[in-house]
């Protein structure tokens, strides 16, 4: 019984020592990889509390979320021999979860040193050695980010590392002080030239605007004059048409009056023709004689009265 108690105490002591070594915590966004006797195991564990064999097994956390690696102080020499320094280059990348075991086995826990940090130095020096200081510092600096990202991604994909390069951010390199002052002077001159050019462009634009405004005003005046002229022509044509209509109305009116007078005279003539019969004339003679009756004294009265009667009756008998 005494030995059993001692054995139990030994076992409990071992458990008390080993249990804290066996239970471990994996952070969120990471997976745990395990080495037993220096050999990488085929499994990995996810975030949370996990258990391993104490003493003989050790674990490492591998990040599988997006991370940013900063590579600092990268010297390089340009094609012309000028030495410049890139203070910092940031590489945003992520390791795919299903490639963790294979990548760690082939390149170790610090796989990003090979494929990010060392590769950045290599690509920067390649770029600098192929270009002049002017091209690196000014003309082609805006292409460095994409060039390095494409180069990193190409090699990572070729070797099936499971690393996805999302973005690369390159800071402006430091150049020798003399060169920097020269570039600053050049930039100042370029700025002055741009200001002068822009001022000239503004003046030309204002002049062009003034010309267009004057042209528009002239066209507007011409259009107004043309409209007024057309209006006057239309008014004159309307007056002419009204005059022609009035003349035509007057002609028709005068013609109607003349036709009416002619018709009236014709009717009067026809009436007179029908009215002036011998009997009517005879009747009118007697009426006029009666209306003009006078008392006549003398011996020739019958002759005076008979002569007209004889003259009137003579042709009738004949």
Entry pTM: 0.54
pLDDT at 52: 85
Q: Please, which pLDDT band fits residue 318 given cuts at 50, 70 and 90? A: very low
The 10s digit of each residue's pLDDT in 297-313 is 556 555 555 555 455 55
Q: At what angle do helices 118-129 and 144-158 cross, to 10 degrees?
A: 130
The 10s digit of each residue's pLDDT in 175-201 is 877 777 777 677 778 888 888 888 888
Residue 115 CB-density burial (10 A; 0-12 exposed, 13-18 middle, 19+ buried)? buried
The 10s digit of each residue's pLDDT in 109-125 is 999 999 999 999 999 99
Tell me which of 316 and 286 has the higher pLDDT: 286
Pairing of strands 83-95, 48-51: unpaired
Q: Please, which pLDDT band fits residue 19 given cuts at 50, 70 and 90? A: low
Residues in the chain: 318
Taking residues 36-64, what's their average pLDDT?
90
The 10s digit of each residue's pLDDT in 124-148 is 999 999 999 888 988 899 999 999 9
User: What sign does the dihedral 302-307-312-315 (CA atoms) show?
Assistant: positive
pLDDT at 309: 47
């Amino acid at each position: 019984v005494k030995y059993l108690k001692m054995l139990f105490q030994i076992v409990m002591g071992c458990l008390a020592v080993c249990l804290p070594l066996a239970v471990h915590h994996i952070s969120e966004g990471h997976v745990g990889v395990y080495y037993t006797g220096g050999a990488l195991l085929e499994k990995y564990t996810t975030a949370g509390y996990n258990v391993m064999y104490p003493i003989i097994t050790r674990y490492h956390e591998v990040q599988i979320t997006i991370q940013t690696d900063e590579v600092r102080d990268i010297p390089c020499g340009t094609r012309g021999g000028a030495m410049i320094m890139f203070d910092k280059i940031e590489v945003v990348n992520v390791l795919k979860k299903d490639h963790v075991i294979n990548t760690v086995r082939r390149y170790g826990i610090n796989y990003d040193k090979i494929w990010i940090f060392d590769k950045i130095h290599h690509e920067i020096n390649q770029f600098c050695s192929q270009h002049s200081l002017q091209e690196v510092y000014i003309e082609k600096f805006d292409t460095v980010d994409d060039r390095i990202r494409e180069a990193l991604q190409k090699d990572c994909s070729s070797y099936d590392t499971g690393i996805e390069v999302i973005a690369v951010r390159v800071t402006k390199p430091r150049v020798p002080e003399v060169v920097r002052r020269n570039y600053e002077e050049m930039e100042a001159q370029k700025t002055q030239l741009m200001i002068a050019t822009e001022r000239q462009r503004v003046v030309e634009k204002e002049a062009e605007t003034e010309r267009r405004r004057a042209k528009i005003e002239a066209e507007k005046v011409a259009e107004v004059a043309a409209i007024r002229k057309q209006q006057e022509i239309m008014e004159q044509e309307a007056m002419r048409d009204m005059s022609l209509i009035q003349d035509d109305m007057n002609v028709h009116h005068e013609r109607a009056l003349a036709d009416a007078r002619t018709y009236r005279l014709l009717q009067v003539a026809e009436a007179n023709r029908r009215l002036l019969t011998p009997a009517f004339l005879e009747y009118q003679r007697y009426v006029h004689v009666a209306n003009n009756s006078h008392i006549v004294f003398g011996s020739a009265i019958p002759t005076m009265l008979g002569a007209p009667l004889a003259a009137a009756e003579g042709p009738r008998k004949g």
